[in-house]
Amino acid sequence: MFIILLTSFTELSLTTISNSQMIDNKRRDLLWQKVQECTTNQRELQKSSPCVYVDIDNKYVVANGSTPVHYLLLPTDKISGIEDPQISRLNSRNYWQYAWKKATDKDYIRSKAPQVKYPEQIGLAINSKQGRHQDQLHIHMSCIKKTVSDELNKAEKTREITDRFQIKKYVNLEGNNYSVRLLANDSLSNSNNPFLLVKKFVGAIKMGQQSIAVVGRKQGGFYILKTESDTQSGYNAVASRLLDEDCSTQK
């Protein structure tokens, strides 16, 4: 019997752990082991299991998360997390674009939550170094909380959100402040890579403290959100808390 362990607080997503096993929170390589198992099975058996999808050429896998409408995208290269410099270059792999394509594909979230019909109902998120419990980069893919998408739409109408991040101007979402910019086109690749956009705003040295979310925009394109860990206040940036991981707020 297999269980899935993943919440916004523990961030463990595994479908191959036996019920009799105890998860040791100090084992921060469990997702990396999962990636290796999935890629080995794909190469040797032509089966993606225990992942739901393996893309050898583009070097990523998609794994089940905490609910039937929550997924994780993980690189097949060893990448610790948001602080890794290889993901925020102009020519970096387009992990956000891959994640968005899968999150909006009819065979994933939409197949299990028929009320999800529009891009503004979907969100992606990656947590900060301080807010994660696994050291293999993983992008959460699920619905976005309706209150979050409504607040973003409202903030854009009142010009609190523009096409660039603004210093000391935030949108409060789920009790935490987020710097937000809009991206009017439908690409999350290359110069629109959210990792690169955030790095240009905060600088490379602060990337590990960042947590990023991408939310579909009603008018087309995206909202790019970022929040930052603060060790003095004890705030660990966890943008995955903005997600609606069972799509219950979507009507």
- The residues near 108 (Cβ < 8 Å, ≥ 6 apart) are 62, 71, 102, 141
pLDDT tens, residue by residue, 64-89: 999 999 999 999 999 999 999 999 99
How far is it, in rounded angstroms, from Cα 186 to Cα 237? 26
CA distances from 4 to 13, 19, 35, 36, 122 (A): 6, 10, 15, 18, 22
How far is it, in rounded angstroms, from Cα 96 to Cα 194? 7
Contact status, residue 139 vs residue 211, Cβ threshold 8 Å: no
In a domain, 251, yes or no: no
CATH number, position 207: 3.30.428.30
Contact status, residue 179 vs residue 204, Cβ threshold 8 Å: no
In a domain, 163, yes or no: yes
Q: How many domains does the chain have?
A: 1
| pLDDT values of the chain reduced to their tens digit, one per residue, 251 residues | 333 333 333 344 443 322 323 344 568 999 999 999 999 999 999 999 999 999 999 999 999 999 999 999 999 999 999 999 999 999 999 999 999 999 999 999 999 999 999 999 999 999 999 999 999 999 999 999 999 999 999 999 999 999 999 998 999 999 999 999 999 999 999 999 999 999 999 999 999 999 999 999 999 999 999 999 998 999 999 999 999 999 999 98
Contact status, residue 235 vs residue 223, Cβ threshold 8 Å: no
In a domain, 69, yes or no: yes
What domain range includes position 113? Answer: 2-244
How far is it, in rounded angstroms, from Cα 226 to Cα 125? 10
In a domain, 166, yes or no: yes
In a domain, 175, yes or no: yes
pTM of the model: 0.90
Contact status, residue 61 vs residue 73, Cβ threshold 8 Å: yes
